[in-house]
Structure 1
Amino acid sequence: MNNKYLSKATIRENYEAYAEYFAKILQNILTILQEKISLSAQPTYKWRIKRFESYYKKVLKKEADKITVVNSIICLTDMLGIRLICAFLEDINLAISQIKDIFEIKEVEIKGDEKKVSEFGYESIHVLVKIPDECLPEKDERFENLMPLEGELVCEIQIRTILQDAWAEVEHELIYKTEFSPFDMPLRRKLAAINASLSLADITFQEIRDYQKKLQKEVEERRHSFYSMADNLLDEKPKTEKPEAINRVSPFVQGTIDDLLLRAIHAHNEGNLEEAIHIYSKILEAVPDDQKSIISVIRKHRGMAYFSMNNFEAALEDFNISIENDPKAFRTHYYKGIVLAIQKKYDEAIKCFTTSLEINEFQAHTHFRRALAYYEINEYENSMNDLDAAIKLGMKPEECKFLQEKLVKKFGMNM
């Protein structure tokens, strides 16, 4: 060996002396990520300092000319690594965008993108970030004898889905850790098939996620429409301008019960109530009697459609059957209470609202509806208590103002 090069033992000693220093940097960066990264599902994190043997091999391969008698640590871009593991493909781009807002980005690389379809390997995003000054440990007595760093120290943040991370761990054990790449074609095909299956699973999970979002959006819009109609029928709130029409693109494909449900809710929100009821009825015809949870959900939705058509008796029948199949469905008790209040059956309405609150006490609007019903039967103290609970749980003051004013007149005091 040429005398100008440092021995492996010396390089190891210099490198491993940085272990605590590097660990503190990674912990500081990880804290920032945990505080500032916000995804639909909380991501998990892993961090690591590159093992010396891996570091040494890479230095010999790429930076051999820098291993001189001058004691210094050659910086590699992947010496410090953090892995951000998210649930869905959509989270990857969101995470990258947020990381760009937090750190100074040196480079973004898609690992595995260069592989052919027939090859095994799995994409992941590697983001190199400059280490902020506030993440660098203070140079106290523990670190004062460390060798200087050759080059810029960066942190590599890998962003993967859960399935991408699982594949990466197994691939590392089977291939890279053993320095073996299979030449046997059947074995290569098996690995490629596993990779393809995981990629497809990620895509499928994302499609399910997209479907859920579309369904949730339609359900929220339908629920808002239900509440607005109830307010108008009860003449409880000052009239507001008609909400701006929402231009929707039909968000379903035909096939499953889920598809039919989304189609029905979409028709419901578009005001095609007869079509919505027809589809709900078709679903009920197809669902076995023992599928109580499904029957409960469909009956609830059809009941809301009947309500929108002012067919309150049919709505009550569906709500009652929904409750029979799922007695803990607190929203259905609430919807039933609204119909009964419109029919001026306030005592029965209060029982429904009370049952709903016994199942889930943190419902501002249910407290508010019960406050209105109590007011109608002259139980003003109960009405005031429920109104107070509704406000504490987040009801907007302007929504409560008209009832507050009525109660002020009854009590002759400021509230």
Structure 2
Amino acid sequence: MDIETEVKDALRAYDRSLVEYRALKESLEQEIPLHLRQWGVPYFRVEARVKKRGSFEAKVRRDPDRPVLDMVGVRIMAFFRGDLVQIERMMRRMFDVAEDSYIDKGGLLGDQSFGYRSVQFVGRTRGNDMFEQFEAGLPIEVQIRTMLEHVWAEVEHDFRYKPQTEPPSAEINRRFALTAALLEQADRNLDDIRRELRDR
């Protein structure tokens, strides 16, 4: 089968599934906040999205034989770093996690490095409980990070990775690293402040 035929078949499948993808996105936006509060996480943001048709097509063209597992994605941003473990535990209860997809971006940084931090993995619907209206096995890309990590990742992506006439200078790279270090310390400070207030 030639590439154009594969792309057309994939786009037809995308179009047929779009209503289900959108319904799953809305369900994620409704259910995850409810469960986070039940799990004792009161401060967070949840964003879900369906992959755009153009992005889907580009991904298929890059590697037609590789399944696209991020048709639906959800990002959970905690106000406190100390809540990330609880959020991940909850998501593991809600979905079957493909362990080979699990990446801890912070764990990839060296001892003296600062930069992009996020836990991400592919979870699959189980066809029961709060997602019983969806068939089992639908993949969802899950990202978990703090709000400060999210801000830094968005800014760095726009400033450093969008096409420019020349790459960032060493000074700009150094300042990005310094900013990442300051935000990491700010996350730790917020956790410490919350802990001290709770222990009073």
Q: TM-score, normalised by structure 1?
A: 0.41
The aligned amino acid for 1:91 is: D
Distance in 2 of aligned mates of 1:181 and 1:116? 27
Residue 55 of structure 2: aligned partner = 54
1:167-213, CA deviations, whole angstroms, 9 ceiling, x for partnerless residues?
12212322344489945211111111111111111111111111112
Distance in 2 of aligned mates of 1:50 and 1:21? 13
Distance in 2 of aligned mates of 1:206 and 1:172? 26
Distance in 2 of aligned mates of 1:100 and 1:181? 42
When residues 24 and 213 of structure 1 are mapped into structure 2, their CA distance, relative to the original with a 3 A threshold, is same
More helix, by proportion = 1
Residue 91 of structure 1: aligned partner = 83
The aligned amino acid for 2:53 is: F
The aligned amino acid for 1:125 is: V
Query: Any stretches of 5+ residues in structure 1 without a counterpart?
Result: 67-73, 140-151, 216-415
Q: Is the 8 A contact 2:123 2:140 kept in 1?
A: yes
Q: Is the 8 A contact 1:120 1:188 kept in 2?
A: no
Q: Is the 8 A contact 1:90 1:206 kept in 2?
A: yes
When residues 137 and 97 of structure 1 are mapped into structure 2, their CA distance, relative to the original with a 3 A threshold, is closer
The aligned amino acid for 1:5 is: I
Match of 1:159 among 134, 139, 144: 144
Residue 175 of structure 1: aligned partner = 160
Residue 212 of structure 1: aligned partner = 197
When residues 205 and 29 of structure 1 are mapped into structure 2, their CA distance, relative to the original with a 3 A threshold, is same
The aligned amino acid for 2:43 is: Q
Distance in 2 of aligned mates of 1:100 and 1:212? 30
Residue 199 of structure 1: aligned partner = 184
When residues 117 and 84 of structure 1 are mapped into structure 2, their CA distance, relative to the original with a 3 A threshold, is same
Residue 98 of structure 2: aligned partner = 106
When residues 100 and 202 of structure 1 are mapped into structure 2, their CA distance, relative to the original with a 3 A threshold, is same
Q: Which has the larger radius of gyration?
A: 1
The aligned amino acid for 2:83 is: D
- Larger relative contact order (Cα-Cα within 8 Å, sequence gap ≥ 6): 2
Structure 1 position 5 matched with structure 2 position 3: yes
Q: Is the 8 A contact 2:44 2:79 kept in 1?
A: yes
Residue 81 of structure 1: aligned partner = 73
When residues 131 and 53 of structure 1 are mapped into structure 2, their CA distance, relative to the original with a 3 A threshold, is same
1:116 Cα deviation (Å)? 4.1
Q: Percent identity?
A: 23
When residues 28 and 84 of structure 1 are mapped into structure 2, their CA distance, relative to the original with a 3 A threshold, is same
Q: Secondary structure in 1 aligned to 2:3?
A: coil
Residue 129 of structure 1: aligned partner = 123
When residues 200 and 23 of structure 1 are mapped into structure 2, their CA distance, relative to the original with a 3 A threshold, is same
Q: Secondary structure in 2 aligned to 1:37?
A: helix
Residue 43 of structure 2: aligned partner = 42
Q: Is the 8 A contact 1:76 1:153 kept in 2?
A: no
Residue 21 of structure 1: aligned partner = 20
RMSD over aligned Cα, in angstroms? 3.0
Distance in 2 of aligned mates of 1:104 and 1:171? 31
Distance in 1 of aligned mates of 2:179 and 2:5? 43
Residue 187 of structure 1: aligned partner = 172
The residue correspondences of 1:249-260 to structure 2 (distance < 5 A) are none
- How many residues matched? 192
The residue correspondences of 1:144-155 to structure 2 (distance < 5 A) are 153-155=138-140
Distance in 2 of aligned mates of 1:102 and 1:138? 13
Q: Is the 8 A contact 1:47 1:82 kept in 2?
A: yes
